[in-house]
Structure 1
Amino acid sequence: MVLRRPRVFEAAALVAIGLGVIVDAVSSVTHALPHPLVRYAALVLVCLGVTASRRYPWPGLATTLAGPLLAALLGADPLPTWTFTIFATFVVTLRGVPALPAGLVTGVADYAAIAIHAAAGGWDDIGSIAVAFALAAAATGSAIRGHHRYWDELRKRTQDAVATREAEAERRVAEERVRIARDLHDVLGHEVALVSMHLGAAEVHLPEGAQAARADLAAARAGVQAVLRETQQVLAALRVSGDDPGTAPAADYGRITELVESARAAGLDVDAAVDTAPAGLPHTVGTAAYRIVQEALTNAQRHGDGTVSLRVAAEPGAVTIEAVNVSAPREAPSRRGYGLVGMRERAASVGGRLEVREEGQLFWIRAVLDLGAEGVR
């Protein structure tokens, strides 16, 4: 849009001044106008003032206004030069000079030059036109500058909003990955500890004379204990870097009903059907199911109308989670996506998948977590 490019208007005004100065200088010679030297001196003042106004706006404008005053005082017609001051006022206000002072100063100076030339002591018709043009030029320059600054600020805010949104998305993904890693390490630490206990029991139950087997078991226990220590060190680091307190209860399938009750206590109307935790459910799958349900309820509370239907089914070979809620009318689609990224990460961490779809105002989430070789027995 042209209004967003004030330099185009500035260049056009400067070109108009330049062409006008050239035409007036040539006309003074070709038409043998009176007082040619005075007219040239006035044109020189205009050119100097316009040039100086780029760095020194007020002194430059004052020098430009001296042109028509000089011409009028020395008997020359100030009409050409006061016309150039209108363009000069437009340029300086376009560059940031306050419109009202610039317009008033230009109008008074031009009116004085015209009044002196016309030898009129009262209000002059052409002088009133000069004042009106000066104020209009100043207002126009200021308005274009304000419009440009508005769009420039809007563009910067849009860029900042996009950058902030991308940073927020990256932060949420990083936090979710830390939580996934923390939960996996919780599970692994538990399982490794059990393996170490079973190895110790097997060593105790060995018969006399099985020294080779005992040595192998001792080496295996030492290796498992080293893995356990490293796992606990990594787990401690993850707890420090994450945003959840280390004393928070572990995420588990059996605690999904607690999540539902917490959501209801927070004011969410939850229609829930949660199957009992099946025997032999892998810890990783139970943790993923808990986190996905947690995020689904959070999304429904933030972006929905306050109701959600939840179904968690322990089917043969898979755990299926379905959540349906009505989107709030004020919710903008572009505001969604952070929680969905985390749920996809959760499902993928156990080899599952997440499906999301919208039907009118209904928002559906369906996660299928495969039990794999460690399925329910």
Structure 2
Amino acid sequence: MPRLDLSRFRVPGGPRADLVLVLAVLVLVGVAEGQRLGPGGRAPDSLVVSWLLVMAVCTALLMRRRYPVAAGWCTVVGTGVYYLLSTVDGPLVLVPVVALYALASQGRLRAAVAMAAVMVIGVGAGALAGTGDVNGTAVFMLTGWLIAIVALGTMRHGRVAYAEEEAQLRATQERLRIARELHDVIGHTMSMINVQASAALHRLEKDPGQAAEALAAIKDGSKAGLRELRTTLGVLRQVDEEAPTAPAPGLAGIDDLAAAAGPAGPEVRIERNGTEVRPPAAVDLAAYRIVQESLTNAARHGRARHVTVRLSYEDTQLTVVVEDDGTGTSSGRAGTGGSGIAGMTERARALGGTLTARKRQEGGFVVHARLPFADPPSADERSDR
């Protein structure tokens, strides 16, 4: 015996949901009106007018997505006139209630409150007139239901707005992260190529050997930069494309980063203090980028000849200090329109750390970053270099 697959049945949404509701209301109203037919029942003229009002209210509901406020008022007024002319207590009131909820869920709170107030006042006037169809209890219950409908719609609107704002914030953060990564990769690589190319042109005739070394450094640096750029751009790849498998850069490659300066760049010395540990991935990447940007600034703006990189490993944090003997200022190192020092500071703050960049009294420039570990490394993760 074949089993019933419930996953194939889906609740209708959008205009289909409105159409299903209209058809259901028409069926229920038809059943209610049919009970009044027969000898002593309603006059044909009154019955025709009632059905015209029912059709008008249902048609207005179908138009609510294009004209939400106008359709809402049509359902309220049409339903009110229907109950004044008809003796049938039919389910037509469901239509303005749905329109009321739709307006509140769209953030049209004033229109929804005004519609609810008109409905309550109309029913209350009928109760005061002593029609016998409604009483004070009915007015009280209707008021509670309408308040609940408006409140539910408002909550729905708030949740949707919060979800959209959160998604937009995540997209903005992702764009900023990608922009920062691209700046670090392209900025460092192009700066090294610029320095090496200038040295090659200057020494091409006087010392061809050193010019050849500079050109070789340009080749190696551009190749490494291109590889890292492809890795960074992997986040923009399509789902069906093969993702890059190269690991994210970290302090393990800092020696290669220092060697990439080449003969025409500054002489880079790396000092390590404390027991070397393997920091968390976020700290590892941030430290590498801070050193990379500092070397780029030292070569491009400071025209430094010597740079010292100090890595101090502690149990709960990593301290990175980059000093050079250049002449550039902090404003120049920030770059014109670039992220420079601001990008490094943002990286440190994102990890709960700090970063300062200033001129030294004895000349040159110093960058001091403190990068705390969110989860301090265990004893098994420690290793002496």
TM-score normalised over the length of structure 1: 0.49
Larger helix fraction of residues: 1
Larger Rg, first or second structure (1 or 2): 1
